Chains A and B, each alone.
Chain A
Amino acid sequence: MTHPLLKVSNLAKSFGTMTALRDISFEVAAGEVVCIIGPSGCGKSTLLRCINYLTFPDGGFVEVDGTHIGREPGRDGKVRMQSHKRIDQLRPMMGFVFQQFNLWPHMTVLENIARGPIKVQRRPREEVERQARALLARFGLAGKEDAYPSALSGGQKQRVAIARALAMEPRLMLFDEPTSALDPEIVKEVLLFLRELADSGMTMVIVTHEIGFARHVADRVIFLDGGLVAEQGPARQVLGDPQNPRLREFLAQIHEVAAPADLSTPSH
């Protein structure tokens, strides 16, 4: 029997009286790239943070490759919450790349990448550092091992953040607004980079507000509205022939704003 690599069922989350996620269910197959789009405040980032339990959801289930993280149904049918220790162990199955990257400023680039595997997985430093150097070389950052994050450009910081997540050898990657903290000129570069990562077979879930980005990178697009999945399907279909009126409205607004910006994009 085949199961999806990531299965999210009936996820719900409220902050006080504000409901961020009402009832979210979707699946992601191995190797797939899924973009989550939606108006700001629709709960995109909350959804991503609930998937890896950085924020604890109020209800629903998250399964990675058949393993529940956080809330799980017992044999007796009762739902129970795993221990914090267990959740901490399972969390790195999903690599998380933050909007602001959140690199650790007091550690070198190499140490940013190596600290997790050494401390959490207790792997030997030598092996971890070899892996980290290989990742940096692959990402065009050879020679930056001993630099501090403050000396890197935005795009370089993002690649270090991705390398830090990959060093834990996750089953899939979660990206929170990967282009929003970067200068517009390098958005294209990031897009190509993520495309490359996808082509290497990595499963990715990307929260974004850039429709052009979703169009180019995603296999599938999920449109979130009012804490619910309002529409989902192949990227071309969802973005080219939207059915949901709210999605149509959303795309129309985005196009108005995005068009002039596209023209100003340098051609090199």
Chain B
Amino acid sequence: MTLDFSVILDNWPLFAAGLWMTLVVALLSIAAGFLLAIPVAIMALSHRRWLRAIAGAYVEWFRNIPFIVVLYIFFYGLPFMGLRLPEPVVGGIALAFYASTYFSEVIRGAVLAVPKGQLEAARAVGMSYFMGMREVVAPQTLRLLLPPSTNTAISMIKETSVLSTITVAEITYQGLVVQGATFAPFEVFLTTAALYWLITSAFAHGMHRVERAAGAAQGSQQARHSLADKYLQLGMRRSK
């Protein structure tokens, strides 16, 4: 058989609209999921056993069930509680909660990777737990957070395809629409996949550049200071 990609060209406005919907929903739910993950991570790191238990149960629950089931529970559960929202919003909320469990583990891991003595040194000069976390621990987690956050974000971008099952008009949904109209499934779903590939590749590429920039900034900082010492150790004061 021969592939006929003219069906794609004929339907490109649908794919473009789907691409836009995917980008918007993914971006918003990933951002919301990360914010939601912060209190979960704080609870998971708490000294209080019951707070840790709640955070642990929340994370274990969401991580062990498929996102499609989570999505359906939100889809039927929100109206059940009297909340009638447009499908993209319902899907975004479900994905944000789902993503928050993965991000909370990422944050917890990054905080635990900062040596304990760092917070203790903050406590020793009189900082409270939260001030120490803010001033000393949090800034040191940023570089540790980037690589695993990128991976989690890419997973969540891919999960947005499941939103097609509740008729959110994102890429996969448009693919199903075009496939139904053209009966050219191979061309249609290859194109659909290619669009995701484009998004995830571009995202990964961008994040690697950010990572490198963050790493390089710190590296050059150190290098600059060791190089600079040669000149600045001769009794000259550097004015600020």
B126, B221, B237, B238: the one within 8 Å of A92 (CB): B126
Q: What residues of A have a CB within 8 angstroms of the CB of B118 in the complex?
A: 102, 104
B127 within 8 A of A: yes
A143 within 8 A of B: yes
Q: Closest residue of chain A to B143, judged by CB?
A: A106
Q: Closest residue of chain B to A103, judged by CB?
A: B121
Interface segment, B16-24, B170-178, B203-211, B226-234?
B226-234
Contact A151 B225 (CB under 8 A): yes
Q: Closest residue of chain A to B236, judged by CB?
A: A143
Q: How many angstroms between the C-alpha atoms of A102 and B137 in the bound complex?
A: 12
Q: How many residues of A contact B (CB 8 A)?
A: 34
Contact A98 B117 (CB under 8 A): yes
Q: How many angstroms between the C-alpha atoms of A119 and B128 in the bound complex?
A: 10
B123 within 8 A of A: yes
Q: How many angstroms between the C-alpha atoms of A102 and B221 in the bound complex?
A: 20
Q: A102-B117, A119-B131, A143-B237 are in contact. Are A92 and B124 (CB under 8 A)?
A: yes
Q: How many residues of B contact A (CB 8 A)?
A: 30
* Distance between B186 CB and nearest chain A CB, rounded to angstroms: 52
Q: A151-B226, A151-B229 are in contact. Are A116 and B125 (CB under 8 A)?
A: yes
Contact B126 A168 (CB under 8 A): yes
Residues of B134-157 contacting chain A, CB below 8 A: 135-136, 139-140
Query: A140-156 CB contact bits vs B (8 Å, 1 = yes)?
Result: 00110111101100000
Contact A88 B238 (CB under 8 A): no
16 further contact pairs, Cβ within 8 A, besides A98-B121, A104-B122: A84-B128, A84-B129, A85-B128, A92-B124, A98-B124, A100-B117, A102-B118, A116-B127, A119-B131, A120-B126, A143-B237, A146-B238, A148-B221, A151-B222, A151-B226, A165-B124
Instruction: For the complex of A and B, list the 10 residue pairs with the smallest distance between their C-beta atoms, beginning with the closest.
Output: A116-B125, A92-B126, A102-B117, A102-B121, A96-B124, A120-B126, A151-B225, A88-B128, A147-B225, A106-B139
